[in-house]
Amino acid sequence: MDSSIKSNKRAVNLLRGVVLFLLVAFCLFPLVWMAFLAFRTPDAMFVPFWKEWSSFSTDTFMETIRSDFPKSILNSFIAAIVSMLLAMAIGTPAAFSLAKWSFKRKYIWKWVIQLLRMAPPVGFAIPLFLAYINFGMIDSLSGLILSYVTFTVPLVIWLMWMFFAQIPNELLEAAWMDGSSVWRSFYKIGLPLSTPGLVAAGILSFIFAWNDFFFSLILTRTNATTGPVAVMNFLTESSYNWGGIASAGLILSLPTLPVIFFMGKYIVQGLTSGAVKG
pLDDT of residue 271: 60
Confidence band, pLDDT 50/70/90 cuts, at residue 276: very low
Regarding whether 173 and 264 lie in a shared domain, the answer is yes
Residue 40 shares a structural domain with residue 139: no
188: CATH:
1.10.3720.10
pLDDT mean across residues, the chain: 84
| 27 and 164 assigned to the same domain | no
Residue 278 resides in a domain: no
Residue 155 lies in a domain: yes
State whether 31 and 89 are in the same domain: no
How many domains are contained in the chain? 2
Asked whether residue 143 falls in the same domain as residue 236, the answer is yes
Which amino acid, residue 189? I
CA distance 76 to 248: 13
On the question of pLDDT at 274 being above 70, the answer is: no
Do residues 200 and 206 lie in contact, with contact meaning Cβ atoms separated by under 8 Å?
A: no
Structural domain includes residue 277: no
**19 Cβ contact list (under 8 Å, min separation 6):** none
Q: What is the pTM assigned to this prediction?
A: 0.83
Confidence of residue 275 (pLDDT cuts 50, 70, 90): very low
Per the document, the length of the chain is 278
Q: Does residue 149 fall inside a structural domain?
A: yes
Final residue of a structural domain among 59, 75, 101? 59
Distance CA 256, CA 251 (A): 10
Q: What is the pLDDT of residue 46?
A: 75
- Residue 160 in contact with residue 198, Cβ under 8 Å? yes
Q: How far apart are CA 53 and CA 42, in angstroms?
A: 14
Do 159 and 39 fall within a single domain? no
Name the percent of the chain lying above pLDDT 90: 28
pLDDT (mean) for 197-216: 90
Q: 28-60 burial, b if ≥16 CB within 10 A, otherwise e?
A: eeeeeebbebbbbeeeebeeeeeeeeeeeeeeb
**Residue range 210-224: average pLDDT?**
91
- Mean pLDDT of the region 116-123: 80
Residues 158 and 38 in one domain: no
Instruction: Answer yes or no: do 67 and 83 share one domain.
Output: yes
Domain that holds residue 210: 61-272
Q: Indicate whether 77 and 201 sit together in one domain.
A: yes
**What pLDDT is recorded for position 54?**
66
Tell me the C-alpha distance between 137 and 169, whole Å. 44
Judge contact between 99 and 165, C-beta under 8 A: yes
**Among residues 59, 76, 100, which one ends one of the domains?**
59
229 close to 220: Cβ distance less than 8 angstroms: yes
User: Count of alpha carbons within 13 Å of 47, Cβ hemisphere only?
Assistant: 14
Does residue 186 sit in the same domain as residue 108? yes
Contact 196, 268 (CB under 8 A): no
Among 31-35, 147-151, 221-225, 271-275, the minimum mean pLDDT is found in 271-275
Question: Are residues 45 and 163 both part of a single domain?
Answer: no
53 and 131 part of one domain: no
